[in-house]
Amino acid sequence: MATPAPPLLTLTTDFGHEDFHLPRLKAQLLTTQPGLQIVDISHSIPTYDIVRAAFVFNKVWQHFPKGTIHLLSVNDYYQPRGRFLATYHEGHYFIGPDNGIFSLLFGLVPEQTFVLDDYAADAPLYAIYAGAVGHLTRRKPFHEIGLPATRYTERLAFQPVIGPNYIRGTVVFIDRFDNVTTNISRELFERVGEGRGFQLQIKRMPPLDGLSFNYHDVPEGEPLCRFDADGQLELAVNLGRAAPLLGIQVEDMVQVEFY
C-alpha cells in the first residue's frame, strides 16, 4: 500500500523574515503535525494590508492540489476580540482572521465556514492556528472545527466604473519589476470595447493606443499595455520600471476610452 503524501499547507503572512514570528509559527505547526509540508506563498505582504494579501493569494491558491490547507495570517489583531475562521471552498481549506480577507477572496463567503471558537480569547496566535491545522491534518470532521459562521466581516474591493465608451479602473498591484496591474479584466475590456480602438490614460503619461502581446513588442525603455497571464490589464516598460518612471502608485486611476 502506498504511503499517503504528507499534508500540504501554504502560508501567506505579513510577518516578514526579520524576527521570530514566522519561525515560531512554523515550529508550532510542525510540532502539532510532524511531516507537514509547508509551502511559503509570501511573507512580504505590507503589514495589515489584506487587499494586497488577497491579490497575491488569489494568483496562486487554485494551482495547488485539492485538499491543500491555506493559512492566511495578515492583520490578525484587527480588533480587541477578533475571530478566526476556517472555510472549505472548491476542494481547498482556508484558515485566517475574520477581518474581511475572505470576502475579498471569494465575494460571498462559502457556506461551509466556521468560527474557531474553541480557543481561549487570550490564546497565542500560533496555538490557534496550529490547533485548526491539526484538526484538519488529523482528518477530523470539518464541521467539528467550530460553530457555523452566521456573519462575517465584509470588505469591498475596488470595482471598475464603466460607461458606453469608457472603463475607469484603478491600479491594484505593483510587482517587484514595477509592472503595474489594474483591476480591468480582459473580459470587461472586450465587452465594453466591442473591438473598437482605444486610448489608455494614466497620470501624465502620453496615451497608449494599442495592446502588446509581450514586453519586447516595443523598443527598450518604451511603455506598453498588455493582458497578463490572469487576464488583467497591465502597464509596463520594456526592460524598465514602469511605476517609478511614470509616477504610478497603487489606487491611482486608469481610464480606457474607446472610439
Give the tens place of pLDDT for each residue, 128-170.
999 999 999 998 999 999 999 988 888 877 789 999 999 999 9
Distance CA 103, CA 99 (A): 9
State mean pLDDT over 7-35.
94
Is residue 254 a contact partner of residue 171, using CB atoms and an 8 Å limit?
yes
In the predicted model, is pLDDT for residue 97 greater than 70?
Answer: yes
State mean pLDDT over 71-87.
88
Largest Cα–Cα separation, the chain: 65
Distance CA 123, CA 109 (A): 25
State mean pLDDT over 215-228.
95
Cell (9 digits) for 229: 497571464
Q: Where are the beta strands (DSSP E) in the chain?
A: 8-13, 37-42, 69-73, 84-89, 92-97, 113-115, 147-148, 161-163, 166-174, 180-185, 198-202, 223-227, 232-237, 253-258
In the predicted model, is pLDDT for residue 120 greater than 60?
Answer: no
Is residue 43 a contact partner of residue 18, using CB atoms and an 8 Å limit?
no
Question: pTM for the complete prediction?
Answer: 0.86
Distance CA 195, CA 152 (A): 41
State mean pLDDT over 197-210.
91
Query: In sequence order, what are the beta bridge partners of 92?
Result: 89
Please give the domain boundaries of the chain with CATH numbers for all domains. Answer: 8-148 (3.40.50.10790), 161-258 (2.40.30.90)
Mean confidence (pLDDT) of the chain:
91
Q: Which residue has the higher pLDDT, 3 or 5?
A: 5
In the predicted model, is pLDDT for residue 119 greater than 60?
Answer: no
State mean pLDDT over 246-256.
93
In the predicted model, is pLDDT for residue 48 greater than 70?
Answer: yes
